[in-house]
Structure 1
Amino acid sequence: MDDQQIDLASVALDIGKRLASQSEASGTVKEAEKPLQTHEPKPTDTNTNTNTKGKGKVLMWPLEVAVQPTELSRCGLIRLLPKTRRRIVKNELVEHRSDIKLFFTGEELNVQDETVWLAVLRLCRGKPLGERVQFTFPQLLSELRMTDTGGKKGSRRLILARLERLSIAHIKVELNRKNSKSLITTGLMKFGIEEETGKMYVRLDPDGAILFDNLAYQNWEIRLSLKSDIAVRMLDYICGHQAGKPHSQKVENLRLWFGYAGRTDKFRTAALAALKELQAAGVVREAGGDKVALRWIRN
């Protein structure tokens, strides 16, 4: 879906004004299943750091994958947005599973925004959380398999708009893990760029360090090759669960967690097609479902 054209010089002021006028909304979905342990590939790099106390935690994973905090893949933070104006929300409780409760402030995020965030995480691999990580805009484009084009609808303007949305996003998260419950407030990232040279930096918020203790891994090239946004969101959710075991989920739950505003029957049809796309890509096997639930086994 197309991104809106955003005036980067005035977006923060505009959002601040609109946030003040937004009312709070909430939603929740209860789920009986217990969260499964994420299947993690064996790292190919031995440079790891077990420090989880905020700034200084080193992010490390195999080169061929993208990662994201598992709990964030199980809620409505990333939405399948219609081709209309995005909402600006303040402290809105998004649809969620029983193991996470998340309140979001900012401009709604879609799949393309998430892909840029995962590309940024890949560029921060091996760096301490909270440190300014320097690279160039062409390097970010390379991660996204894109070329630098100008104009109002060019890749540069679109990616900068996505970075802007990610940088103003703020979340309050209540985590429910095995024997502990936690409450944190954090952003996703900050960034800066020199327009003429393309030199830039990003800084991941160290206040969210606990989220990176539980990561979901997905093949980066497969993600970039998927044709539909719903297939990408299915990939997010599926990769947050254990491989080799049958898994099922109610269609209505997935519709809510993915932020799909249309009818459930239309979502089910699209979700089944997405599962077939993921099966063809080698992500799952024995994929299918009925009117109530979808089923698959993660490879």
Structure 2
Amino acid sequence: MADLTNAARNHIAELVKTGLSPDEAALQAAKSVYASVTSLPGVQSVVAIAAAVSESSMIDFDAPTPQPAAGNAPATPRPKKRTVADHLDSALDARKQPELAGMPAKGTMKGSPRTAIDDIADAVQERKNSEKMVTTVSEMLQMEMSLFQIAPWDNDLRVIPNDLGRSAVFTTRNKGQKREACEDKLIYHYNQEVEITYTGIELRADDDELVWQQILEYAKHFPLGKKVEFTLYQLCTDLDWHVTPFYYKRALSCLKRLKATCFSIKSPRHSTLKNLSLLGDFDMEQLGKKRAVCKVELDPYLVVLFANDHYSKVIWSKYRTLSPTARRLFDYFVTHQKPYPLKLETFRLMCGSESTRKNKWAEQARGACKELEDVSLVEKSWLEKDFIYCDR
């Protein structure tokens, strides 16, 4: 079937020929869209219907269908407006609470199969959330708000969004292994309700995670969308890396990888984030032989990952000294107020490790637990019967 939008336009054009005004024709066409949603839910794709519903959300569907004007008949008062979304919400509520609508309680128990109306309602809500997110971020940009105003942290701390801390976005694979080139790769996440897909070069906890957290520190007081300047010397110093050509090159490689990231993150907390990059624009200006100035900006939509305190803080002087495996373990611990026991296999998946020897991986996990205790980031951490435990 033709695209819903084009079909609606053609319908409107035909109605205008009968004498209806464009607004009146649009109303009648929208009624037809609603009828197709409720009576023939399989005719259109869920995405197309959701788009039509959202775009028609201001049309009064309880008003009588307009007829071609005949004289100067007095206008009849219209009842309270109900949008397409209102109708869908009512239909969905009736399914969830059929006794309120005088319907038999069928298919309302937990675990009952979903229907087209459920999918459409979810798609409509997703579209609403997406539009709200775009509006909110646009307002933040206009008001020149900074990340610090959304997620404040002290200068001796660094931060990580909980959704990244509980996932395998930053891996612990061996330095000798070539980084994987990912294309729409599904990234493991501890919470099955969160879905992350990634396109770009594999990111690692050993360096990319630290560089990105330090960039967040530089950018936290700057308005979103504005470029932040720092030198490679400054970056290496703050990372506690040696100030040598090797580490300059390493830092620059991290910046390039972070710029070339493309994430899609779907979470119950927010609308789906699409084409999200961990760094926005990036450029470097060489000022003499020994001074290179980097100019970066954050992707404004990163603020969504930090919203509603959904981020965690780490003590930088201790955190940056950890081995990649210990750092990933602490990422899990710090993103939970009271960490649940973590399965050894789940931890391996969160690290993106390709280890196939269970005993060897268990030994690495024990070493990570000891590291965290030694630097006093946790009170106690230990491995017992294939589970990792922690006392914060």
On the 8 A contact 1:57/1:209 being kept in 2, the answer is no
Secondary structure at the aligned position of 1:194 is classed as strand
How far 1:100 moved relative to its partner? 1.8
Matched with 1:13 is: none
**1:169 match:** 261
Distance 1:134 1:286 in 2: 40
What is the correspondence of 1:244-263 to structure 2 with a 5 Å cutoff?
A: 245=338, 247-263=340-356
- The 3-state SS of whatever aligns with 1:247 is coil
Give the letter aligned to residue 276 of structure 1.
K
Distance of 1:172 and 1:130 partners within structure 2: 20
Q: Secondary structure at the residue paired with 2:179?
A: coil
**Identity rate of aligned residues, in percent?**
28
The within-5 A match list for 1:44-59 is 55=141, 56-59=144-147
Q: Which runs of 5+ in 1 are unaligned?
A: 1-50
Greater share of helix: 2
For 1:17, the equivalent position in structure 2 comes to none
Q: Does 1:223 align with 2:319?
A: yes
Alpha-carbon distance in structure 2 between the residues aligned to 1:143 and 1:286: 28
- Give how far 1:164 is off: 0.8
- Aligned length, in residue pairs: 239
Relative to structure 1, the CA distance from residue 233 to residue 207 in structure 2 (aligned partners, 3 Å threshold; closer, same or farther) is same
Matched, 1:115 2:210: yes
**3-state SS, counterpart of residue 389 of structure 2:** strand
Distance, in Å, in 1 between the alignment partners of 2:271 and 2:313 is: 23
| Aligned residue runs from structure 1 range 18-33, under 5 A | none
Find the counterpart in structure 2 of residue 188 from structure 1: 278
What residue in structure 2 maps to residue 65 of structure 1?
Answer: 157
What is the deviation of 1:52? Answer: 5.8
The 8 Å contact of residues 247 and 297 in structure 1, kept in 2 or not, is answered as: no
1:57/1:128 contact within 8 Å kept: yes
Point out where structure 2 has 5 or more consecutive residues left out of the alignment.
Answer: 1-135
Q: Which of 121, 124, 133 does residue 228 from structure 2 map onto?
A: 133
Following superposition, the deviation at residue 138 of structure 1 comes to 1.9
What corresponds to 1:37 in structure 2? none
Q: CA separation of 1:76/1:291 partners in 2, compared to 1, >3 Å: closer, same or farther?
A: same
Distance in 2, Cα, partners of 1:131 & 1:215 = 22
The alignment's C-alpha RMSD in Å is 1.7
- Give the Cα separation in 2 of the matches to 1:240 and 1:194: 37
Q: By percentage of residues, which structure has more strand? A: 1
**CA deviation after TM superposition for structure 1 residue 265, in Å:** 2.8
* Distance 1:210-1:155 versus aligned 2 partners, 3 A rule: same
- Indicate whether 1:156 and 2:244 are aligned: no
| Superposed counterparts of 1:34-53, under 5 Å | none
Residues 105 and 171 in structure 1, CA contact (< 8 A), matched pair in contact too: yes
Which residue number corresponds to residue 295 of structure 1?
389
Residue 362 of structure 2 corresponds to: 268
* Residues 288/52 of structure 1: CA separation in 2 closer, same or farther (3 Å cut): farther
Checking the alignment, whether the CA contact within 8 Å between 1:218 and 1:235 is kept in structure 2 is: no
Larger radius of gyration: 2
Cα distance in 2 for partners of 1:99, 1:133 equals 34
